[in-house]
C-alpha cells in the first residue's frame, strides 16, 4: 500500500526520495553497514519466528487430532 501511495502522489514520492537520500548521505560507511546488518538480522529473525509459528500450529493440530480420535 505504501508503494501505491508513493506512486500515486508525486509530492509524497519527492518527499520520500529526498528524505531517503538525506538520511543515507548523513551516515558514514560504518553506520550504513550497521543499518544494513540490522535489517538483515530483523529479516532473518522474522523468518525464524514465522517458521516457529507454523511448526507450533502443525504440532497443535496433530495433538488435537490425537485427542479427538481417542
pTM (two decimals)? 0.62
Residue 42: how many CB atoms within 10 A of its CB?
10
Enumerate residues 6+ apart whose C-beta is below 8 A from 4.
none
pLDDT tens for 34-53 read: 999 999 999 999 999 999 99
- How confident is residue 2, by pLDDT bands cut at 50, 70 and 90? confident
To the nearest 5 percent, what fractions of the chain are helix, strand and coil?
A: 90, 0, 10
Q: Which domain holds residue 58?
A: 2-68
Q: Is the separation of the CB atoms in 14 and 20 below 8 Å? A: no
Q: Domain tally for the chain? A: 1
Amino acid at each position: 500500500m505504501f508503494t501505491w501511495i508513493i506512486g500515486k502522489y508525486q509530492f509524497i514520492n519527492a518527499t520520500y526520495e529526498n528524505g531517503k537520500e538525506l538520511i543515507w548521505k548523513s551516515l558514514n560507511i560504518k553506520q550504513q553497514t550497521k543499518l544494513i546488518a540490522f535489517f538483515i538480522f530483523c529479516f532473518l529473525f522474522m523468518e525464524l519466528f514465522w517458521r516457529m509459528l507454523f511448526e507450533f500450529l502443525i504440532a497443535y493440530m496433530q495433538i488435537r487430532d490425537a485427542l479427538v480420535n481417542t
